[in-house]
Amino acid sequence: MVKIGILGLGTVGTGTVQILLDPVGRHHLLQSVEIRRVGVRSIDKPRAVDLPSELVTTDLDAIVCDPEIEIVVEVMGGIEPARSLILKAIEHGKHIVTANKALIAKFGDEIFTAANQAGVYVMLEAAVGGGIPVIQPLKQSLGVNRIGRVTGIINGTTNYILTRMTVEGGEFADILADAQKLGYAEADPTADIDGLDAGDKIAILASLAFGGRIKRDDVYCEGIRKIGAVDIAYADKLNFVIKLLAIAERVEGGAVSVRVHPTFVPRDRPLATVNGVYNAILVEGDPLGEVMLFGPGAGAGATASAVVSDILAIVGVRQCHISREEAIESPHNALHPLLSCNHTEYSQMAPLSSLRSSFYVRFLCLDVPGVIGKLGTSFGEHHVSIESIVQTGFQGDRAEIVVVTHDVSEADFDSALAEIGSLEAIDSIPSIIRVL
């Protein structure tokens, strides 16, 4: 039997225990896994799973130091004490399974370095895309491809809000409030709606896709707070939908660009059809072409499916008899190369200003003659070529003008916009959204 300790018995911890206590009809290796301890904060809280009371403890330190435990499953969330407990568990020679994207995105370098030195695995399938298998496919099944780009809808809350804004035509703030009432958004929704959660996840995917570490601070994150019903309506008229995309791509010269921002997605692209709380990850590689992984990005059962698959992978590899001593001696050779994360160099990051993108911009202007001409001149002087420019109507006494550009340099676009913003005729620029 392989004994495991679980840190956390909330949504994901409960789902994990439920699978482990009910192994019949699932993979036969599950029957060699035994839950030795489960750590929680409040011992008296009613639980949805029936565990013998002596298994549940508030002493999480005792779990990570327990000599009987081989695998520590961290499903408590947050940075501390999760980080310290994981490092201590690694120090005591435990393999780690975690669902904690925020922790891995910010402290992955420290954790993976410690794990490689100790000859143990850190597995994180549940950290991105909930139940969707994407981490192991990137490491294994897709690993022979030269990956050019990974594009994800990897935050269920924002996709739910944008989908409802598209279907119902409502405003962001009203739909966010309703999503909070229905449990689709947290009381403090910042991490989701400002793109930070998606930023954590795409940093992890980028690191796997391109084989280099990513500093979380280098990931550009722009959320959906500024998207208005009027932008959704324009997108619809132009045959697009607005999605919060997380994009990791290799750009000219070999550097990597990793970013999260709202994006106009053409209605006929597969990602445009991903609605509600669902997640999808589109991987583009050579020679495979495009593969889209789609499924439930959160929830107890879905996320636990990913957690338990990681436990099984370690149990399976452990049966290959690789000793920790061999692994410490030579982690690249001894640790199972398809499970471990061995890259130690940082990726060279491409600044946003070096990218080329197409933009949708909405201006509110004074209703005076010649504004469209001035916009055209300013864009032209900064080498920004325009695909369409339309005056669509009025918001109060302000004329509304919508511009869609061709693919242009982000730096040129920014300087054009800085000049346009200072024109007397321009009242404000409420929306700037990239077009896929």
If phi over 0 gives left and psi between -120 and 50 gives alpha, with beta otherwise, what is residue 15?
A: alpha
Q: Are 193 and 224 in contact (CB under 8 A)?
A: yes
Neighbours of 318 (CB within 10 A): 17
Rounded to an integer, what distance in angstroms lies between the CA atom of residue 360 and that of residue 404?
4
SS3 190: helix
Q: Are 285 and 248 in contact (CB under 8 A)?
A: no
Neighbours of 190 (CB within 10 A): 12
Q: Binding string to ligand NAP for residues 409 to 428, with x set by CB under 6 A, is what?
A: --------------------
Of the residues 181, 201, 215, 226, only one is catalytic, namely 201
Identify residues 282-301 at the interface with ligand NAP (CB under 6 A): 298-299
Residue 8 or 119: the one with the smaller Cβ distance to ligand NAP is 8
Give the interface size with ligand NAP as a residue count (CB under 6 A): 24
The answer to whether residue 185 forms part of the interface with ligand NAP (CB under 6 A) is: no
Smallest gap from residue 199 Cβ to ligand NAP (A): 13
Query: Stretches 74-82, 132-140, 143-151, 271-279: which one binds ligand NAP (CB under 6 A)?
Result: 74-82
Q: Which tokens is 349 given? A: 């990051």
Query: Stretches 38-46, 251-259, 354-362, 387-395: which one binds ligand NAP (CB under 6 A)?
Result: 38-46
Q: Are 265 and 244 in contact (CB under 8 A)?
A: no
SS3 86: helix
Identify residues 301-360 at the interface with ligand NAP (CB under 6 A): 303
The answer to whether residue 13 forms part of the interface with ligand NAP (CB under 6 A) is: yes
Report the residue from 24, 25, 28, 42 that binds ligand NAP according to the rule CB under 6 A.
42
Query: Stretches 11-19, 159-167, 358-366, 394-402: which one binds ligand NAP (CB under 6 A)?
Result: 11-19
Residue 9 or 185: the one with the smaller Cβ distance to ligand NAP is 9
Rounded to an integer, what distance in angstroms lies between the CA atom of residue 315 and that of residue 318?
5
* Of 50, 6, 275, 306, residue with least CA distance to 166: 275
Residue 303 or 378: the one with the smaller Cβ distance to ligand NAP is 303
201 is catalytic: yes
Which residues are paired to 5 by β-bridges? 37, 72
For 351, list phi and psi in degrees, rounded to 5: -65, 150
The answer to whether residue 81 forms part of the interface with ligand NAP (CB under 6 A) is: yes
Residue 8 or 108: the one with the smaller Cβ distance to ligand NAP is 8
- The residues annotated as belonging to the active site are 201
Which residues contact ligand NAP by CB under 6 A? 8-13, 39-42, 45, 60, 75-77, 81, 99-101, 126, 130, 298-299, 303
